[in-house]
Amino acid sequence: MIADLTHLWTYLSTTSLLWLTLTLAAYQGGQWLFRRLGCSPLLNPVLIAIIVLLILLQATGTDYQTYFNGAQFIHFLLGPATVALAIPLYREIELIKKAFVPIMITLLVGSLTAIVSAVGIAWLLGGEKVLLLTLAPKSATTPIAMGISEQIGGLPSFTAVAVVITGISGAVFGDFILDRCHIRDETARGMALGLTSHGLGTAHALQRNRVAGAFAALAMALNGLLTAVLLALLVGLM
């Protein structure tokens, strides 16, 4: 019986639909738990899905490449999903035009703070140069951050991990920090979440309301571009 189950699992684990189905099921389960328990940020659906999938991968001895081969359809949809963020931006275009100057100031200050804080903390803890370069773009969205990391001499794979941790941290603790700072304006909250926590922060902002989601999407896109420019200049000067 055990041998039959082992053979069955070996077969299923190599099929594309298994890990795709498990990924979707883990996220849906996280959504259900998130809503059931009062939409607490600590129960972020993405965080729950990641934990469940990590446990499954560890328990079954499945390597990441095997998982990715099955779940790559979701990865493919990241492109269309990112493009679709233009819709909330278009809906709030007049509000964005009115706040153009504050947006640019926030973007510059926020992007520099994200870079300097990550590099500064790692440096104070004794991190080597390659680690500093790896962590520098951690607040940009994953594809941009990995590209920047590779170009400036960092480790792209480790950068991707740092980006995910940054995104989850912002989605889970962002509202708590903004509430404690008495920041109630949805445009400011959206900018903060999108700028510091990229895609996951933007997804969380979209759950709040349309305005926060639009400004988070704008901040995520512009911060990716500005981070690339700033790091190219800073590394050149160094």
Q: State pLDDT tens for residues 128-147.
A: 888 889 998 888 887 888 88
97 and 171 assigned to the same domain: yes
Q: Which two tokens stand for residue 192?
A: 């903060």
92 and 122 assigned to the same domain: yes
126 and 62 assigned to the same domain: no
Final residue belonging to a domain, choices 57, 76, 95 = 76
Per-residue pLDDT of 199-221, as tens digits, reads 888 888 888 788 888 898 889 88
Whether 13 has a pLDDT exceeding 60, the answer reads: no
Number of domains in the chain: 2
64 and 91 assigned to the same domain: no
Residues 6+ apart with CB under 8 A from 10: none
141 and 203 assigned to the same domain: yes
What is the extent of the structural domain holding 113?
Answer: 84-237
Per-residue pLDDT of 14-69, as tens digits, reads 566 778 888 888 889 888 888 888 777 777 788 888 888 889 888 888 887 778 77
Rg (C-alpha) for the chain, rounded Å, is 19
Final residue belonging to a domain, choices 18, 49, 76 = 76
**So what's the pLDDT on residue 59?**
85
106 and 192 assigned to the same domain: yes
Whether 156 has a pLDDT exceeding 60, the answer reads: yes
14 and 110 assigned to the same domain: no
67 and 104 assigned to the same domain: no
Predicted TM-score (pTM) of the model is 0.77
154 and 227 assigned to the same domain: yes
Contacts 24+ apart (CB under 8 A), 10-17: 13/60, 13/62, 13/66, 14/66, 15/70, 16/69, 16/70, 16/73, 17/70
Final residue belonging to a domain, choices 12, 42, 76 = 76
124 and 188 assigned to the same domain: yes
134 and 224 assigned to the same domain: yes
Whether 2 has a pLDDT exceeding 70, the answer reads: no
